[in-house]
Amino acid sequence: MGQAQELEFKGIGVSPGVVSGRVRLLLSGDDPVPDYALRPGDVPREMMRLETALIETRQQLAEIQRRVSQALGGESASIFEAHLQVVDDRDFLMEVYREVRDKLRNIEKVFFDVAERYAQTLLQMEDDYLRERATDIRDVTRRILRNLMGGGRDWLAGLEEPQIIVAHDIPPSEMAALDRGKILGLAMELGSVTSHAAIMARAMELPTVVGLRDVYEKLADGDHVVLDGVRGMLVVNPTPATEREYTRIARGRMEIQKRLDTFKDEPAVTLDGVEIDLAANIEMPADVTAVLARGARGIGLFRSEYLYLANAGDPTEDQHYAAYAQVAKAMLPDPVIIRTLDLGGDKMPAGDRRTEEANPFMGWRAIRLSLARQEMFKAQLRAILRASAHNPKLRIMYPMISHLAEVEQADALLRECMDELAAAGVDFNRDIETGVMIEVPSAALIADWIAPKVRFFSIGTNDLVQYTLAVDRVNERVAHLYEPTHPAVLHLIAHTVEAGNRHGVWTGVCGEMAATPYFVPLLLGLGVVSLSVSPLAVPVVKDVIRRIEMSDAQALAAEARKRANGAEVLALCRQLLRRRAPDLLELAE
C-alpha cells in the first residue's frame, strides 16, 4: 500500500514543542444519567445522597490538588479552587434541591440538568476565560455523578506506551491523572490559551494544541501524526519530507530556547543602547513565579477579574488586598500595574449576573460597570491603595475608557478612598500613579485631553483592532479582516504615543501585538516605550529588542505609516526580523 494522504489541521498552540507519534483517541466513557420519578417522601433521601457524594468529591479534589501541587507547583494546583467552589456553592445546590422537590425526579438527573444549564450559559459568552469555566462545571459534575452512581475510574488511566492523546476535551482533574512519561502531547477540539487544560499542559511541558475543530471524527487509534504546539498544527500521515522538516524546526527551537535562557537577567536594550521596559501580564498571584523565572521587569497588566469570577458574591476589600499585596511584595522593587475590574455584560461579577445584553462588548462593562456600582469599585480601589504601601511602584489602570468624564469620575472616587483610608490611619501611597487602557478608538482620538489626567497609557491592541475595524476575530467569517497592521490601527497607536509625549505621559502596549516578534520593532518605532506580554513570551521579545537598533525600528514605522495596505506593512515587519533575527521569525510563524 502507498503512503496515506497527508492531512493538516490548524488549531491554537498553547504549549510549545514538536512531537511525532501514534494517536490515542480518548472518550469520556460516562455512563448514561439515570432518569426516574420520585415520590414526595423520597426527596430527603435524595438530598442526603447528594451530600454524601459532595463530601466524597471534596476529598477527591483535595487529594488531586495535593498531588498536583507536589508535582507541578501551587500555580497549577490553584486551578482546583474553582472546582471546590462549585462543590460548595450553596445557591447552586439550593437550585438543585428546589428542582428535586418540584419536579420529583432523581438527584442524578436534576443535578446534571442544573449543572448543564450553568455550563451552557457560560459557553454562550464571548470571553475565552468564562467559556473555559464551563469545563470546570462539567468536570466537577462528571465526578459528582460518578460518586452518586457508585464511582468509576479515571478514563485517562492505563496508557501503556507514549502516545499523542486526541480528545474532544480533557477536564483538569483528569489532566491530573496523566502519566507524563506515557504522553507525548495533547490535541483537543475544545479549549483556548486560558483553559485550565492549557495551563496544566504548559506546567507539565506537554506540547499541546487546542481548538482543532472536528478533528476527532477524522482520526483513528494508531494514526501517525506530528503535533506542533507553537504553530498549532496537527499533521496526520506526515510524509517523510514533512517529518524531516518538523524535526529541523524542533531542533532549531531548542537551540534558540537554550540561548534565550542565557540572558534571562539581562536588560531589554537595543543594539544602540535604548532600554525598553519589558513586563509581563498575569491572571492571578500564582503567576508571579513564572514572571520572575522568565526575566520580566515588573507586571504590566494584572487582570483582577478572577477575584470576581471565583466568588459567589463580590470579593471583599480584604480579599482584594490579600491578592494585590502578595504580588506587590513579590515584585518589589519592580512596578505592578493593576487593571481595575474589566467585566461586563458578557461576563458579570457573581453579584450581578442577571443582566443580559444583546451586544455586551459595547454595553455595560469595565469602567462603566465600576462607575455604576461605586461601592464595589471603591472596595477594589481601597485595596489597591492599601497594597501600595508595600510597593511604591504599584499603579492603577482604568479599562475601556471612551470619555474623559469616566477618568474624572474614577479619579474622584479614588480621592474619596484616599480620604477614607487617611481618616482611618491606614498607610498608602498618596502619589500612586494612574493610567488608562487605550482600547476604544474614541480614547485614542482624545488622548490629548486624557493625558493631563494620567501618568501613562497602555494600549490594548486586541480590542483596539477589533473596535477600530468592527471585526470579531473569533468569528470565522470575518476573522481574516482582523489586521493589526491596518493603517487606521497604526494611526491610532501613533496618535496616542504622540499625545502622551506632548504631556509627559509614557505609552506601553499590553496586547498580543507586543508578544509577536515581528511587530515588536514596529511598536518601538512608533514610540512605544513599554511592552507587557505573557511570561512565556518574555524571552523571545527581549531577544528581538536586543538584536535590533532603534534606528531600524523608527525607519520601519516611518515606512509603515506611508502604506495604505496592512499586508504590505506586515511584509515590511517580517523583512526586518528576517534580516536581524531570522531564527526568531521561525518561532513566530
Q: Which H/E stretch holds residue 458?
A: strand 456-459
Instruction: List b or e across 144-176, with b for residues whose CB sees 16 or more CB atoms inside 10 angstroms.
Output: bbbbbeeeeeebbeeeeebbbbbbbbbbbbbbb
The Cα 121–Cα 123 span in angstroms is 5
Alpha helices in 272-403 (DSSP H): 288-294, 305-309, 317-331, 366-372, 374-387
Residues 6+ apart with CB under 8 A from 480: none
Exactly one of 83, 196, 390, 495 is catalytic; which is it? 196
Cβ atoms < 10 Å from Cβ of 67: 13
Integer Cα distance of 93 and 108 in angstroms? 13
**Which residue shows C-alpha cell 504548559?**
202
Q: Is 510 a catalytic residue?
A: yes
Residue among 477, 563, 564, 485 nearest 522 (CA)? 485
Among residues 83, 390, 486, 510, the one annotated as catalytic is 510
CA distances in angstroms from 182 to 170, 178, 246, listed in the order given: 16, 8, 21
First to last CA, the chain: 34
Q: Is the peptide bond before 285 cis (omega within 30 degrees of 0)?
A: no
* Burial group, residue 342, by CB count within 10 angstroms (0-12, 13-18, 19+): buried
Q: Phi then psi for 572, rounded to 5 degrees?
A: -60, -40
Partnered with residue 434 across adjacent β-strands are 396
Tell me the Ramachandran region of residue 587: left when phi exceeds 0, alpha when psi lies from -120 to 50, beta otherwise. alpha
> Is 390 noted as a catalytic residue in this protein?
no
C-alpha torsion sign, points 571, 572, 575, 577: negative
How many other CB atoms sit within 10 Å of the CB of residue 568? 15
Residues taking part in catalysis: 196, 510
